Amino acid sequence: MKKLFIPKGYKQNCDLITNQKAIKFVKDNFEKVFAEKLNLTRVSAPLLVFSDTGLNDDLSGVERAVRFDVKELGRDAEIVQSLAKWKRTALKKYGFSRGYGLYTDMNAIRRDDDVDNVHSIYVDQWDWERVISREDRTIDYLKKVVLDIVKAISEVNEMTKKEFPFLTLTVNENVKFITAEQARKECPGLEGKQLEYALTKKYGTVFLMQIGKKLSNGKPHDSRAPDYDDWDLNGDILFYNEVLDAPFEISSMGIRVDEKSLLEQLKQANAENKLNFTYHKQIVSGELPLTIGGGIGQSRLCMYILQKAHIGEVQSSLWPEEVEIEALKHGINIL
């Protein structure tokens, strides 16, 4: 996607004040419905973590965290990129039992992200994590949680349409579950976003599974850090976005690594040095609970339900000056 894509005939569907009211409506109601469906309790989360703990999310392993020294503490700290690892330690600290968990407002800076209609260097999402048992580490359990999340999105979408009648989106709750390898066979010759486009255009709502593991062509569908999701038990929730005529990722999620999958994936990624971090040692020793979790983009969800063409219409971030100028020419107000 280019830095700025203007859909043909696109116009903003409401004024700025109504837009802000709609954003708040979506966020307030989704937070409530989502938490109820997944048995989650809201907790406070850090903006900063120490660099030497291994708690910050490496994402695909190449993104640079915003890092600085803390004068009073004599240690380096980093702004979180996500809370995938922190949440698991928090579950232990709070003492959550099987089937219950936490969610939090996560705010992050991803300085290396390319900005376009759906990407921003400012990331806001609901990060969530729930305790599971070893028996829960199955595809069927993963699918059930995905269906709960999609149902929550659909319910909030219908609530929002009643409150703001100019909205017309219908969320397809019939999720197509498909592994990345199966998708390659179904759509031969397509990879990456082209593959996701073909799938979402056909099925509407897709959970594309097993992200990070090498496929039969020797490459993964997409990069994924080796030390949070189990690559056999994870995936992305994708919708077809009619406004952009594009695949639209709402959530990356999965059952987290246990001691076996952690060691295997670190070896595959040539990242066994991470075993020196406290977090990774706690997984290997079984000190941390087994969990499932993920992130749901707050601005992404607002953008989807409110039928916006640019993420800057629902969040305030930093954009290239030429993007702001060009957007305004087409009647798009970047916040």
The count of structural domains within the chain is 1
CB contact at 8 A, 141 and 292 = yes
Task: Give the three-state DSSP class for 319.
Answer: coil
**DSSP-assigned states of every residue in 160-226:** HHHHSTT---------EEEEHHHHHHHSTT--HHHHHHHHHHHHSEEEEE--SS--TTSS-SS---T
User: Catalytic: 210?
Assistant: no
Instruction: Compute the half-sphere exposure of residue 36: CA atoms within 13 Å on the CB side of its CA.
Output: 11
Residue 323 in domain: yes
- Structural contact between residues 175 and 33, judged by C-beta atoms closer than 8 angstroms: no
Structural domain contains residue 163: yes
Range of the domain at 77: 16-329
Cα separation of 88 and 228, whole Å?
A: 10
What is the 3-state composition of the chain as percent helix, strand, coil, each rounded to the nearest 5?
Answer: 35, 20, 40
Q: Cβ(123)–Cβ(109) under 8 Å?
A: yes
Contact 112, 236 (CB under 8 A): no
Helix (H) or strand (E) holding 20: helix 16-38
Does 252 map to a domain?
Answer: yes
How far is Cα 319 from Cα 324, in angstroms, rounded to an integer? 7
186 is catalytic: no
Q: What token pair was written down for 133?
A: 């048992």
Map tokens 């936490």 to a residue. 102
Residue 303 lies in a domain: yes
Element (H, E) at 206: strand 205-209
Q: Which residues pair with 255 in a beta bridge?
A: 292
Active-site hit among 252, 261, 298, 315? 252
- Catalytic residue from among 57, 78, 227, 230: 57
236 in active site: yes
pLDDT at 2: 61
Over its length of 335 residues, how does the chain's per-residue pLDDT go in tens digits? 467 888 888 888 889 999 999 999 999 999 999 999 999 999 998 888 787 777 676 666 667 878 888 878 888 888 887 787 889 999 999 999 999 999 999 888 887 778 888 888 888 999 999 999 999 999 999 999 999 999 999 999 999 999 999 999 999 999 999 999 999 999 998 988 999 999 999 999 999 999 998 888 888 888 888 888 999 999 999 999 999 999 999 999 999 999 999 999 999 989 899 898 888 999 999 999 999 999 999 999 999 999 999 999 999 888 888 888 888 888 788 87
Question: Which position among 88, 110, 130, 184 bears the catalytic label?
Answer: 110
DSSP string, 113-145: PPPSSS--SEEEEEEEEEE--GGG-SHHHHHHH
125 is catalytic: yes
Q: How many residues does the chain have?
A: 335
For residue 141, give the CATH number of its domain. 3.30.930.10
Classify residue 140: in a domain, yes or no. yes
**110 labelled catalytic:** yes
- Rounded to two decimals, the pTM is 0.90
Kindly give, in sequence order, each residue whose CB lies less than 8 Å from that of residue 331, ignoring residues fewer than 6 positions away.
Answer: 11, 12
Q: Tell me the C-alpha distance between 200 and 266, whole Å.
A: 31
Of the candidates 195, 193, 196, 271, the one whose C-alpha atom is nearest the C-alpha of residue 228 is 271
Assess whether 57 carries a catalytic annotation: yes
What's the rounded Cα separation, in Å, for the pair 314 and 177?
29
Specify the 3-state DSSP secondary structure of 235.
Answer: strand
**Angular region, 41: left φ>0, alpha ψ -120 to 50, beta rest:** beta
Q: Determine phi and psi for 147, rounding to 5 degrees.
A: -65, -35
So what's the pLDDT on residue 29?
Answer: 97
5 domain residue, yes or no: no
**pLDDT for residue 10:** 87
Q: Which of 236, 258, 265, 299 is catalytic?
A: 236
Residue 304 inside a domain? The answer is yes
Residue 55 lies in a domain: yes
Instruction: Say which of 136, 249, 258, 313 is annotated catalytic.
Output: 249
Q: Tell me which residue has tokens 């979408």.
A: 157
